[in-house]
């Protein structure tokens, strides 16, 4: 496949500007003829941008990109194929008709992550948590299939270092929650929170998230008796045994000690999901103590980020915190990646707003200030990511307007796999 050949050609420093230009020119001469007459790198970027909008992209590059992601997962002990088969079998799958009237903004309808319908399809929903495991393995390859746990724990540690907290009885809002990986994790991290609410625009993602909660409830009994979010090891073992009896030996063999999925099936009556635009949730003003945006902003155009930040400010109580965890394009790894126009164009093809995010990221703290947030702190979370905490001032308090940026002093080793690697050898 073209992408496979490109990745082989890129077995070297990611800053090499034009390693595969001849391949692309041979593959799409009609596109090359239309490329602007500029420097080699700009011609390469222009040609590849046009390739990614051509039939070649859907016919060749998308399937190749998917094969590469699946290979990465399987090479790191994440059973992509079997896990997808299992989740599909948990149907019948249907959308919540009561949520059908939610307006979907145009930016959200763009193709994402090699899915033509973006997040608005079943394949994306069934695979989102599996893909998340693969992303974790790429960031922390020495941990293999547990790389995602190391990845998310790095964000947790960075947030903790910045004073992130949720008081007993507090309410947490997870904006852009997907199928609820981050929502369920927030519930585990803060067992004394009163409620953890996930918000997402994709009815397909939410259907999967609700199904996983349902399966967890079936395994553990019900959600209310474990509302504190804490289950002993003995209770987990008993629940897994029950699940094996209920879902069958084949499913149990697939899922092993995790219960029935690439992530633990959990039972927590505090967790719920609603379908809404994160920029217009319809939730009451000042009704939450924490709002979280976990790896969401890089998938947004800047105007949507500003709108969502404003909505977070509205629903937070005075003294409430906004937590942001994201990619950091000021790090060497992402700077090198973006310096290669061909490679970055391929990645940008599956992340349509990534280029805009890279340009916008330095402005984010200023936009938070303009919205009204104060006491804004940043720290490095991994070699390529950062965490941020911002506070909504309490009544009568102005708060600090200077940005406390600790990324340099907290810089981490970049453990991310090289582009051409599927696993750390």
- pLDDT tens for 249-265 read 444 443 433 446 899 88
pLDDT of residue 344: 80
114 confidence band (pLDDT: 50, 70, 90): confident
pLDDT of residue 23: 37
Q: Does residue 157 form part of some domain?
A: yes
316 confidence band (pLDDT: 50, 70, 90): very high
422 confidence band (pLDDT: 50, 70, 90): confident
pTM (2 decimals)?
0.83
86 confidence band (pLDDT: 50, 70, 90): very high
44 confidence band (pLDDT: 50, 70, 90): low
pLDDT tens-digit readout, 207-231: 999 999 999 988 776 645 444 444 4
Question: 46 vs 336, which has greater pLDDT?
Answer: 336
Contact 367, 360 (CB under 8 A): no
pLDDT of residue 226: 44
DSSP-derived pairing of the beta strands 374-380 and 316-327: unpaired
Q: Does residue 244 form part of some domain?
A: yes
Question: 374 vs 33, which has greater pLDDT?
Answer: 374
pLDDT of residue 12: 42
DSSP-derived pairing of the beta strands 171-175 and 316-327: unpaired
Percentage with pLDDT > 90 across the chain? 63
- Peptide bond preceding 47: is omega within 30 degrees of 0, i.e. cis? no
Angle at 125 between CA 121 and CA 130, to 5 degrees: 140
| Chain centroid, CA 258 distance in Å | 21
pLDDT over threshold 70, residue 359: yes
Q: How many separate domains does the chain show? A: 1
Residue 351, both tokens: 């992340």
Least confident of 45-49, 83-87, 125-129, 149-153: 45-49
Residue 338 backbone zone (phi > 0: left; psi -120 to 50: alpha; other: beta)? alpha
Question: What is the mean predicted confidence (pLDDT) over 319-336?
Answer: 97
pLDDT of residue 418: 81
Starting at the edge strand found earlier in the chain, the sheet holding 374-380 runs 271-275, 195-200, 171-175, 288-294, 316-327, 385-391, 374-380, 404-405
pLDDT tens-digit readout, 229-241: 444 334 444 444 4
Can you tell me the distance from the alpha carbon of 154 to that of 325, in angstroms, rounded to the nearest whole number? 10
pLDDT over threshold 50, residue 93: yes
Q: Does residue 85 form part of some domain?
A: yes
pLDDT tens-digit readout, 159-206: 999 999 999 999 999 999 999 999 999 999 999 999 999 999 999 999
Q: Does residue 13 form part of some domain?
A: no
pLDDT of residue 310: 99
Can you tell me the distance from the alpha carbon of 295 to that of 131, in angstroms, rounded to the nearest whole number? 14
CATH code for the domain in which residue 222 is found:
3.40.50.150
Can you tell me the distance from the alpha carbon of 397 to that of 324, in angstroms, rounded to the nearest whole number? 23
Q: Does residue 344 form part of some domain?
A: no
pLDDT tens-digit readout, 385-403: 999 999 999 987 889 999 9
Helices 147-161 + 122-139 axis angle, to 10: 70
pLDDT of residue 26: 40
367 confidence band (pLDDT: 50, 70, 90): very high
Least confident of 47-56, 93-102, 214-223, 353-362: 47-56
pLDDT tens-digit readout, 272-287: 999 999 999 999 999 9
Percentage with pLDDT > 70 across the chain? 76
Can you tell me the distance from the alpha carbon of 150 to that of 144, in angstroms, rounded to the nearest whole number? 10
Q: Does residue 19 form part of some domain?
A: no
- Domain residue limits at 185: 80-331+352-405
347 confidence band (pLDDT: 50, 70, 90): confident
Q: Does residue 216 form part of some domain?
A: yes
Helices 62-75 + 122-139 axis angle, to 10: 50
Least confident of 138-142, 244-248, 417-421: 244-248
pLDDT of residue 45: 64
Q: Does residue 45 form part of some domain?
A: no
Can you tell me the distance from the alpha carbon of 125 to that of 46, in angstroms, rounded to the nearest whole number? 32
Residue given tokens 């009994």 in the structure block: 221
Question: What is the mean predicted confidence (pLDDT) over 64-79?
Answer: 84
28 confidence band (pLDDT: 50, 70, 90): very low
């Amino acid at each position: 496949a073209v992408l496979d050949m490109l990745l082989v050609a890129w077995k070297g420093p990611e800053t090499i500007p034009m390693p595969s230009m001849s391949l692309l020119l041979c593959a799409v001469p009609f596109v090359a003829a239309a490329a602007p007459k500029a420097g080699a790198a700009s011609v390469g970027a222009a040609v590849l941008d046009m390739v990614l909008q051509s039939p070649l992209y859907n016919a060749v590059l998308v399937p190749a990109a998917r094969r590469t992601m699946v290979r990465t997962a399987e090479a790191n002990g994440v059973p992509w194929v079997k896990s997808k088969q299992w989740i599909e079998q948990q149907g019948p799958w249907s959308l919540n008709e009561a949520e059908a009237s939610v307006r979907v903004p145009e930016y959200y309808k763009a193709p994402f992550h090699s899915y033509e319908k973006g997040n608005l399809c079943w394949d994306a929903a069934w695979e989102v948590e599996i893909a998340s495991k693969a992303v974790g393995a790429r960031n922390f390859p020495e941990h293999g299939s547990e790389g995602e746990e190391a990845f998310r724990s790095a964000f947790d540690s960075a947030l903790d270092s910045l004073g992130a907290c949720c008081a007993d009885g507090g309410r947490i809002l997870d904006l852009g929650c997907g199928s609820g990986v981050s929502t369920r994790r927030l519930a585990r991290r803060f067992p004394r929170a009163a409620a953890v609410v996930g918000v997402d625009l994709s009815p397909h993602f939410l259907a999967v998230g609700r199904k996983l909660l349902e399966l967890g409830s079936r395994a553990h009994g019900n959600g209310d008796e474990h509302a504190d979010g804490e289950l002993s090891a003995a209770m987990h073992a008993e629940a897994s045994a029950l699940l094996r009896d209920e879902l069958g030996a084949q499913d149990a063999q697939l899922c092993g000690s995790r219960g029935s999925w690439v992530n633990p099936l959990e039972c927590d009556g505090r967790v719920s999901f609603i379908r809404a635009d994160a920029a217009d949730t319809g939730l009451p003003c000042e009704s939450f103590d924490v709002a979280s945006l976990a790896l969401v902003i890089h998938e947004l155009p800047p105007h949507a980020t500003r709108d969502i930040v404003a909505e977070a400010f509205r629903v937070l109580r005075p003294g409430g915190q906004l937590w942001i965890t994201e990619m950091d394009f000021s790090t060497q790894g992402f700077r090198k990646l973006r310096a290669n126009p061909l490679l970055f164009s391929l990645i940008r093809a599956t992340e349509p707003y990534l280029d805009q995010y890279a340009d916008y990221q330095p402005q984010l703290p200023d936009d938070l200030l303009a919205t009204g947030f104060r006491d804004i702190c940043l720290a490095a979370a991994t070699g390529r990511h950062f965490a941020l905490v911002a506070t909504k001032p309490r009544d009568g308090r102005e708060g600090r307007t200077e940005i406390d940026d600790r990324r340099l002093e907290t810089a981490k080793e970049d453990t991310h796999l090289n582009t051409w690697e599927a696993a750390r050898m």
